[in-house]
Structure 1
Amino acid sequence: MKNLNDKILEKLINILNSPILIYFWSEWCEICKISKNIINDIEIKFKNKIKVIKINIDYNYYITEKFAIKNIPTVIIILNKIIIIKKQGLFDKKFFKKLINNIL
């Protein structure tokens, strides 16, 4: 999302009772190209159960700073306004599916 600003994200975090998965990425990141498919799979598998938000760091500097994103890809899962996990780098789809199932 190019036009997602910090106010919209903050509002989503405050109003949603379901888990939110925030995926920080960029088009120039080679690992992001691999992990983006994993995120898309998770988004499809957990449709209506978890909100997936993809944030391109090149267009969302404030949000990237707010969440202290130093490396990409990074995934953050938030539940009830609390960060449950923050994971950087290439990740395993099975790990996230298991984690999300445990949260749900």
Structure 2
Amino acid sequence: MLLLVGQDVRGDFSAQFKKAADQHPDITFAKLNLAENPIAAERFQALNGHTWLIALYQGEELVRRKKPWGTDVPLAVELLKSKLKSNEVVGETTPIQSIKENSKVDTTPVIVTDETFQKEVIDYELPVLVDFWAEWCGPCRMVAPILDKLAAEYAGKVRIAKVNVDENPGLSQYFKIMSIPTIMMFKSRSIVFSQPGAFPEPAFRELLDKLIELEIPEQPAEAVNEPED
């Protein structure tokens, strides 16, 4: 697990990071100062001087959190432990491994922008759950670790994407986002769910399971355009 230290270490995060390092000797915990390691900052795209928590397993990012909270550490540990356990059985191929042979599988939420929404959500081959959020939103921070966890568990079945409403006003206006977090789900180029609120983990699981099972006719390609002035 890698901690890239910038200007904004929050609350009890440092104590939680040290505690986890002491409790889990089977996981490597590394801490780098971004100001002193510009190559690492560029390698991990840790820009703008923020602090980042990144959980890596054999080069694969399981968790990437900007300005992390102490509660993000147990989540990262849980996902790493799950990966370690799933690979203890030598020679066994998991469903995710089979999919990876043919295409890229997202095991973390995908950051989507005004420019990439059409490709990464509307035209994407899998169903997509989109979280419209903002840095300053408290309920959004409660939802974030849940979606990080579910992105790994549902990899290859559902893509989980995130849209920062402050940085992407075009999408916010187009979908009339009035409250955050707002959760939207897309399948076969159709919006099948849209509701504001910070749902608990069981509710998200129920939504994702229903999204996978839902059968709707394939819709013709239609671009999402920003609203005209």
Question: How far off is 1:67 after superposition?
Answer: 1.2
Whether 2:113 is the aligned partner of 1:4: answer yes
SS in 1 for 2:125: coil
C-alpha spacing 1:56/1:82, structure 2 compared with 1 (3 Å): same
User: Relative CO higher for 1 or 2, CA cutoff 8 Å, sep ≥ 6?
Assistant: 1
TM-score (norm 2): 0.42
Question: Which runs of 4 or more aligned residues in structure 1 lie more than 3 Å from their structure 2 counterparts after TM superposition?
Answer: none
Q: 1:77 aligns with which of 185, 189, 198?
A: 185
TM-score (norm 1): 0.87
Question: How far off is 1:89 after superposition?
Answer: 1.6
User: More helix by proportion, 1 or 2?
Assistant: 1
The letter of the residue matching 1:4 is T
- Pick the structure with greater CA Rg: 2
1:15-54 equivalences in 2 (<5 Å): 15-54=123-162
Tell me, in whole angstroms, the C-alpha distance in 2 between the residues paired with 1:58 and 1:102.
30
SS in 2 for 1:63: helix
Question: How far off is 1:61 after superposition?
Answer: 0.4
Tell me, in whole angstroms, the C-alpha distance in 2 between the residues paired with 1:4 and 1:14.
12
Please name the residue that 1:59 is paired with: 167
**Once the two structures are superposed, what CA deviation does each residue of 1:64-90 show, in whole Å capped at 9, x if it has no partner?**
111111000111010011111112122
Percent identical pairs in the alignment equals 25
Report the aligned-residue RMSD.
1.6
**Structure 1 gap ranges (5+):** none
